[in-house]
Amino acid sequence: MEIIADLHIHSRYSMATSRQGTPEYLDLWARKKGISLVGTGDFTHPAWREELKEKLKEAKSEYIIQEYMAGEDFDADVYIDAISNEAVAVFSKKKIETRIGGASKTISFKDEKLFAFIQNIVKRFKFYGPVDMDFFYQDGEYYLSEINPRFGGAYLHAFGAGVDFPKMILNNMKGITNDPIIGDYDEGVLMLMYDEVVITTLDQLRGDYND
């Protein structure tokens, strides 16, 4: 059975969202767009949580409830070749700091187990081009949190570390299949967002601090 879902959604209590983001309007517009499953983002906001408890208890359909995950939060920028339909690039990073829903400080790492998990995920969906994936790591296992079929907000980190998605897009536009370069980057590369984006390595950062 095919289900069209939107699991990455915010309530009207988030920044830069419509005040009409009520359960009723979310349901209405989901139906108009052909979406049959809608997530309940911002569920930790007390006012939104109380509203959901009040308005969803009368629904007749079954709910899908995500288990609470207390593990570490990771992110991966993935490029899925538009010709081979395979993941040809993966850049994984650990979130050090998150602001307003987005990662502002991250550090790159490599894990073959995560790379294999991502390749397995890609085989089950029909995505092309840049995809942003979020994961939880708990009890020695990776759990997929969400998939966004677009450039991730922190893709600058991957680009700064040499993982060039725009080049891959141009190759596909020219009919060229990209060669796999999964994990072809350095570990310990940091992205630090302040008013500007800083791409550096852990050793360089320590050196600057000691100087």
Write b or e for each residue in 102-118: b if 16 or more Cβ atoms lie within 10 A of its Cβ, otherwise e.
ebbbbbbebeeebbebb
Contacts of 100 (CB under 8 A, 6+ apart): 15
Please provide the average confidence, as pLDDT, over all residues in the chain: 86
- Report phi then psi at 197, rounded to 5: -95, 130
Which tens digits make up the pLDDT trace of 126-176? 899 999 999 999 999 999 988 888 998 889 899 999 999 999 999 999 999
Alpha-carbon gap, residue 152 to 157, rounded angstroms: 10
Looking at residue 173, its pLDDT comes to 97
Looking at residue 51, its pLDDT comes to 86
Burial of 59 (0-12, 13-18, 19+ CB in 10 A): exposed
Asked if the model's pLDDT at residue 60 lies above 70, the reply is: no
The share of the chain scoring above pLDDT 70, in percent, equals 91
The residue-averaged pLDDT of 21-34 equals 85
pLDDT band at 63 (very low <50, low <70, confident <90, very high): low
Alpha-carbon gap, residue 17 to 146, rounded angstroms: 20
pLDDT band at 181 (very low <50, low <70, confident <90, very high): very high
For helices 23-33 and 46-56, give the axis angle rounded to 10 degrees. 70
Looking at residue 171, its pLDDT comes to 97
Looking at residue 169, its pLDDT comes to 97
Alpha-carbon gap, residue 150 to 78, rounded angstroms: 10
Token pair 């509203």 is found at: 51
Asked if the model's pLDDT at residue 96 lies above 90, the reply is: no
Which tens digits make up the pLDDT trace of 183-202? 999 999 998 887 667 788 88
